[in-house]
Structure 1
């Protein structure tokens, strides 16, 4: 019941939060690598259509690399939005006592974004477009707490963790209605929690929830108040034990 209540609360938060920003944060990647040769891949999306493909690989027993591609393309009567973004990073991971995992990653991202606002009659009010560049630092931690979900007579292992990402994003080559305009920058703080349910072998369903906070007041690079992502994660070649 607690898990279902959490879903309902998150759905309400999602419905209350809105953002006219040109930046749609991809979900923080939490591969939780444990040893050399391990691969983690996943796909995540939300009800807004922001979809992300992710992959990570343990190059050595301590060095991991990761990359992701995120896309959002939607056309509504009063607005159209297009967002394409790519990230790559590298960092350190280690297995802690009691089967916990700690990861620290840094990386770079780039992409493009545009938004067209229209009246009810379909007349264009304003068009915004520009390029995005991002530097980020992220810490992932899989906690000791584990539970089991009992559903339809089956037992599904549950694991939990947290992540904190700090990002500096710049909006460049910015245009308003085709006219070059001064860009913006912002610093985003994203604390999130994630829950994983092991459904079959290495396949896990993942729920990401949390917040996104802009540390600067900006008009076109604003932060959404709620983060909500559902996805599927697969880990291959890692150490035994929940992560």
Structure 2
């Protein structure tokens, strides 16, 4: 079975607009299945938006997730900065005849600060936007737990794939344009993404995630113009050893 059927890289990042002050962290997809299991990951994307994620199954069907995201990208024409954190709790279970599928449902909240500076060709600042952001989200993850495999470079690689649907409400209690406070904005974001996880060594795996980001409201500074693509490393350990 060809791996390219499942790689999310075919879902091109949305780079057409860079006006948004918000850069969405990757949706957490820990694939929890049993009490005591831990999942940790480190992700990045083309804009060097680095995210660290952790998840822990505190019960047979209850899990906690957390994400810390950091972006500090200072280019010649634009500067992007964002520090953002999320925490959530949810339900996880395995189902199917052979228990080879995973369903995870999470809800949580986040907060952070973002800044965007635009410059002209002579490096003069033309616009500065800063915002304090608050977020509430809910998401559903579906993963095929059973391993698929492909042969490459003389080795058999095992992989899994899945999808996540995330709905987020984001608002800016403080929005500052060129040093002056202006009315805040809010938006509702819908993020359908897919992900593929490829085994590397032991519990260490590579993960690629991509999809779309839709803003359900027409806003000027809080738009869906930034990518949801990410790639990184994942590790799942703990439990009874029969999970990831």
Same fold (TM over 0.5): yes
Structure 2 unmatched ranges of 5 or more = none
| 1:165 aligned partner | 166
Matched ranges for 1:27-106 at <5 A: 27-97=26-96, 98=98, 99-106=100-107
The one of the two structures with greater contact order (alpha-carbon pairs below 8 A, sep at least 6) is 2
Q: Which residue of 2 aligns with 1:150?
A: 151
Aligned length: 241
| Stretch of structure 1 that moved more, 42-51 or 143-152 | 143-152
RMSD over aligned CA atoms reads 2.1
1:39-79 per-position Cα deviation (integer Å, ceiling 9, x unaligned): 00001111111110000000010110111100110111111
Q: 1:126: how far off?
A: 1.0
- Three-state SS of the structure 1 residue aligned to 2:229 is strand
Alpha-carbon separation, structure 2, partners of 1:217 and 1:146: 42
- Partner-residue secondary structure (3-state), 1:223: coil
Match of 1:198 in 2: 199
Structure 1 gap ranges (5+)? none
The structure carrying a bigger helix percent of its residues is 1
Q: Deviations over 1:100-158 (max 9, x none)?
A: 11110000000000111111111111111110000000101113674212112111111
Superposition deviation, residue 81 in structure 1: 1.1
- SS class of match (1:227): coil
Other-structure match for 2:112: 111
Instruction: Tell me, yes or no, if structure 1 residue 123 matches structure 2 residue 90.
Output: no
Residue 210 of structure 1 aligns with which residue? 211
> CA–CA distance in 1 between the matches of 2:226 and 2:179?
30
Indicate the SS of the match to 1:72: strand
Instruction: Rate the CA distance shift 1:152–1:210 in 2: closer, same or farther, 3 A.
Output: same
C-alpha distance in structure 1 between counterparts of 2:103 and 2:7, whole Å: 25
